[in-house]
Amino acid sequence: MEELPASFVAEAVAALPAILEARLRDLRLSHGKVRALGTPRRLAVIAEGVANAQPDLDEEVLGPPARVAFDADGKPSKAAHSFATKIGVAPEALFRKATDKGDYVAGRRVEQGAPAATLLPAVLAEVCGKIPFRKSMRWSDGDTAFGRPVRWLIGLFGDSVLSFQFAAVSSGRVSYGHRFLAPDALKIDNARSYVAALRAAHVLVDPAERKQVMVERLAQAAHSIQGALIEDQFLVEENASLVEEPQVLVGNFEEKFLALPERVILDVAKGHQRYFGVRDARGGLLPKYLAVVGTALKPAIIQLGNDRVMRARMADAKFFYDEDLKVPLAQRIPELDGILFHKRLGSVGNKVRRMVALVPVLGERLGLSPAVIAAASEGAQLAKCDLVSLMVRELPELQGEMGAAYGLAQGLRPEVAAVIAEHYQPRGADDPPANGEASALVALVDRLDTLVGCFAIGLLPTGAADPLALRRAAIGLLRTLLHKQWRVGLSEAMHSAYAGFVGVKLDLDATATADKLSGFLRQRLRGVLTEPGGVVDACVAASADDPYDVQLRAAALGKIEESVRAKAGEVFKRAANIAKEAPPGELAPPASVQAEVHPTEQRVFDAYQTLKAALGGGTTAADYERALNAIAAFAPVLAQFFEDIFVMVDDLPLRNNRLRLMRETHIACSRFANFNLLAKA
Amino acid sequence: MYFQDIILTLQRFWAERGCLIVQPYNSEVGAGTYNPATFLRALGPEPWNAAYVEPSRRPTDGRYGDNPNRLQQFDQFQVILKPSPINIQDLYLESLAAIGTKPLDHDVRFIEDDWESPTLGAWGLGWQVWLDGLEISQFTYFQQAGGFDCKPVSGELTYGLGRIAMYLQDVDTMYDLEYNAHVSFGELYKRAEWEWSTYNFEEADAAAHFAAFDKNEAEAKRLLDRDTDPLKKLVLPSYDFIVKAAHAFNVLDARGAISVTERQRYILRVRTLARSVAEAYLAQREALGFPLLARASKAAE
């Protein structure tokens, strides 16, 4: 092939074995291990021990019902004839077969298995057409779509060629080695010799081997300059998919560029050139980089070229940095009115003003100190200023970090600079939430503003489409609250955020927005909490306005053994169902409504009193553990009650009192979780 | 190798491989793709092989002559091969050797780079070509132009002449390049960069350019709407006005006269025109019986 994009290689290699296995299975061709290999210029799939032929077929096949298949005289009907033709037997060979559903006609299909060599060419052509690419293209005057143009094909079964066509290319046994180091035709004898033959032609076709060789050479190169490689998994994967035989070169850049923030240097090197950084023994950055290249016959020339590119990139970054530093962050605030946040929700400037207004409201509700709120307010004001800096325009992934770096260099208080850097956290699943209180507060406010605004204009994520990353914003908001163990009424906070959109035409009112968004956050919470889905669902169903509170309840409920939870679920479900019948009125001791009290009834009444005392009104982790243990202990008593006592007796006062007990129990426990959801089906 | 020798060598190289050497378009374009020798000829079934230098103008890239390798006007060497030949990558690598760069001495790689022109309604997949880490060319297989599927697919090669020359002459700024033995690139272009940057960023009359955009758009439409007969539509003049409208938009963009929201609307207006002219061009060539197709099949016999 012509060079596939780096990311296509790994995806195709991952998908290939299953594609081939499925086809072999359909054809009843047994086989051993299947593995895929690939570089930017070739993809291969090798199945070991493929059977020489399909097994012969000898099976009984059921046809139409006997009443249709045979006429009054017992002769095969037209339907029977066509069935016979279909399975390749004479009509006389059909026979009756009794089944549960009555008599059917049946026949014996005997087929000789076809040789693999005749079946496989079509299989390989199909496999080629099924390789998934994120984006496919056509080329020349063909109609085939593939990741990049296909130039040669090999099909081998043992030592013989499997002839097929794909994308107007005919298969054979000829491959080509490294584009420059071994460009001549290379005959492949069989699959077993494939990897070694290509290795000799400067192609490491096994991605694992290629990666290993590359990583070793990177380590050696770093060692050769008394440095340590700065590891970067993305760069490893990417570079391994950009070359067929990795060579590593050490390059240099001028020391004066080390004055730039480290992240800038590494990101410029990585983003534009796919270079690795190197540290010295004390952890400082060296004015060097490691480049993975595909050809290195004249390393000095290649290094010279790469150095020149790196110098230009660094000079650009230095220019951006110096220019950016000339403008105090606060002076950039008016420029934010020129960047669109969303066409209906206004500019980033509008957003920042909403955030600044919301910070003290939410901060005070969270009980944060005036000092923290002041730092958060100032941080929120400056949080987005780096979006209009030259550097962030060039390298958007540096947003936040650049603002903090510029702020610090310009004399901003460190706690305010930290807000600028950290309020984007968590950026993804692997990134921790902001830890500082001011940073976390601004992180919350930023996300709340985005979510409330977007939901209010009906921009809900649908399926895979979530262009404004609302799911990530929601998860970030929840993770921040949980990390800080902050208690908050989300609905109230949403109303406060909604109030910030004064003068903006929104589609939903505050309550409808908060309802929609609350539902969305409930779903996300299920993914954020680590307890089993059923436990989280039960706790969320009780109430989810305060996510940290849900987490505490879910943790307490999750500590109770699953079978105990399920039993409690069943019995509480039953209680909740009949509780609906309960009339108003106080629950009375059983002895007050009947002459003779069944011991079970007395026990459940007493147990309920103990339970009520244990439940209390507390909301700490310990409170919840105590309460849920009490509920778990109460459940078997209630179960016994259902065994021994018939609730719906004719004696009305007695019946009502029993119903009231059910209602009281249900109400007392439903603050913690909806136990119905724990019942098994 | 002098700057002009690179051009001469590439022209000869591609002429020897059957390319028509056409001339730059005589109106301001943002890239060689805007030349009708690429944009229109990439449409429809007729074969087409051409090469040319295109002085491309991107007003927003102006840096008053201060930046070593960013200019508002720069020369691209453009090759369009339709259908894209099977050995197109090899041909390209041979052309590098022709200008004195033996791939075996370097690290030459094809790195994914997809191309899209929102104004032309065109997109393609391909690569940027790296020479020792330096992007020296763009390589694109056109998938759509003017919103129409390209069939057959054209292969487009765009050499960044300035970068290649800087590399070959071992200089750090484009202005130090030697155009020939007597005149430097700086002599030719440095003053021009300052003047054009000043004009585009500071002096351009926004009202006049807005008016020009509207007028060019109206004229482009009128020339296509004047008749339903595909042979009576004035396709080439219409395309000319579209190119002029696109340039007016680019100047307004550099002048900061177009807001973010308006920007999308203007792009859409140009794209709509590009689609209409592509449609008219296809109909016209069909009405003419796709002359180059007939010629090619005759040649094959």
A397 or B137: which leads in pLDDT:
B137
Mutate which of B88, B107, B151 to disrupt the A interface (most A C-beta within 10 Å)? Answer: B107
**Chain A interface includes B84 (CB < 8 A):** yes
The verdict on B153 touching A (C-beta cutoff 8 Å) is yes
Residue A503 is part of a domain; what is its CATH number? 1.10.3210
Task: Compute and round to an integer the Cα radius of gyration of chain A.
Answer: 35
Q: Do B103 and A180 touch (CB under 8 A)?
A: yes
pLDDT, residue B260, reads 62
The pTM (predicted TM-score) of the whole model is: 0.79
**Is the pLDDT reported for residue B235 higher than 70?**
yes
Given an 8 Å threshold on Cβ–Cβ distance, is A301 in contact with B105?
A: yes
**Is the minimum CB–CB distance between A293 and chain B shorter than 8 Å?**
yes
Nearest CA to B273 among B300, B298, B227, B237? Answer: B237
Rounded Cα gap, residues A75 and A66, in angstroms: 11
Q: Which of residues 117-156 of A touch B (CB under 8 A)?
A: 135, 137-141, 148-149, 151
ipTM: 0.93
Instruction: Please report whether residue A538 resides in a domain.
Output: no
Summarize pLDDT for B241-274 with one digit per residue, the tens: 999 999 999 999 888 788 766 777 899 999 999 9
In the structure, what pLDDT confidence band is assigned to residue A165 with cuts at 50, 70 and 90?
very high
- Give me chain B's average pLDDT, please: 94
Of A111, A139, A156, the position where a domain reaches its end is A111
Domain residues for the domain of A84 are: 57-111
Report how far Cα A446 is from the mean position of its chain's Cα atoms.
23
Are both A98 and A121 inside the same structural domain? no
User: Which pair of tokens denotes residue A557?
Assistant: 């409920």
Q: For residues B30-50, give the mean pLDDT.
A: 96
Cβ within 8 Å, pair B114-A135: yes
A439 and A559 inside one domain: no
In chain A, the percentage of residues whose pLDDT exceeds 70 is 100
DSSP code of residue A388: G
Residues of A in contact with B134 (CB under 8 A): 305, 308-309
| Candidates B105, B131, B152; nearest CB to A297 | B105
Asked if residue A557 and residue A505 are part of one domain, the reply reads: no
Mean pLDDT of A338-359: 92
Pair (A30, A151) in one structural domain = yes
Is residue A681 over pLDDT 60? no
Question: Among A162, A178, A200, which residue terminates a domain?
Answer: A200
Distance from the A136 Cα atom to the nearest Cα atom in chain B, whole angstroms = 9
Taking only the tens place, the pLDDT of each residue in A510-533 is: 999 999 999 999 999 988 998 888
- The answer to whether B112 faces chain A, any CB pair under 8 Å, is yes
What is the reported pLDDT for B261? 60
- In the predicted structure, residue B296 carries a pLDDT above the cut 90: no
Residue A473 sits in the same domain as residue A524:
yes
Provide the percentage of residues in chain A whose pLDDT is more than 90: 74
With beta carbons less than 8 A apart as the criterion, state whether B79 and B51 touch: yes
Gap from A298 CA to chain B (nearest CA, Å) = 6
Same domain assignment for residues A603 and A653: yes
Partner A contacted by B64 (CB < 8 A): no
Minimal CA–CA distance to A203: which of A40, A47, A48, A45?
A40
Whether A520 and A377 share a structural domain? yes
* DSSP run (H or E) holding B218: helix B206-225
Chain A CB within 8 Å of residue B237 CB: no
A308-339 pLDDT, tens per residue?
899 988 988 998 899 899 999 999 999 898 88
Q: Which of A138-152, A381-395, B24-38, B78-92 has the lowest mean pLDDT?
A: A381-395
Of B89, B114, B152, the CB nearest to A2: B89
Q: What is the pLDDT of residues B88-110, one digit of tens each?
A: 999 999 999 999 998 999 999 99
pLDDT at A359 over 90: yes
Q: Would residue A330 count as lying in a domain?
A: no
Q: What is the CA radius of gyration of chain B?
A: 20
Q: What is the mean predicted confidence (pLDDT) over A410-431?
A: 95
Q: Which of A7, A135, A139 to mutate to test the interface with B (most CBs of B within 10 A)?
A: A139
Please check whether residue A72 lies inside any domain of the structure: yes
Q: Phi first, then psi: what are they for A591, rounded to 5°?
A: -65, -20
Q: Which of A111, A127, A145 corresponds to the end of one domain?
A: A111
In a domain, A544, yes or no: no
**A613 touching B (Cβ < 8 Å):** no
A533 within a domain of the structure (yes/no): no
Contact yes or no for B141 and A139 at CB 8 A: yes
Question: Are residues A513 and A626 both part of a single domain?
Answer: no
**CB contact at 8 A, A43 and A35:** no
- In a mutational test of the A interface, the residue from B112, B129, B292 whose CB has the highest number of chain A CBs within 10 Å is B112
Domain-located, residue A542 = no
Work out the average pLDDT over B70-94. 96
Taking an 8 Å cut-off on Cβ atoms, the answer to whether B152 and A140 are in contact is yes
Say whether B132 and A305 touch across the interface (CB within 8 A).
yes
Q: How many domains does chain A have?
A: 5
Do A34 and A101 fall within a single domain?
no
Q: Is residue A248 part of a domain?
A: yes
Angle, in degrees to the nearest 10, between helices A599-615 and A621-644: 170
Task: Provide the strand spans (E) within A294-420.
Answer: 340-342, 346-347
| The length of chain B, given as a count of residues | 301
Residues A139 and A186 in one domain: yes
Same domain? A500 vs A573: no
Q: Are A482 and A465 found together in one domain?
A: yes
In this structure, is residue A415 part of a structural domain? yes
Is residue A132's pLDDT more than 60?
yes
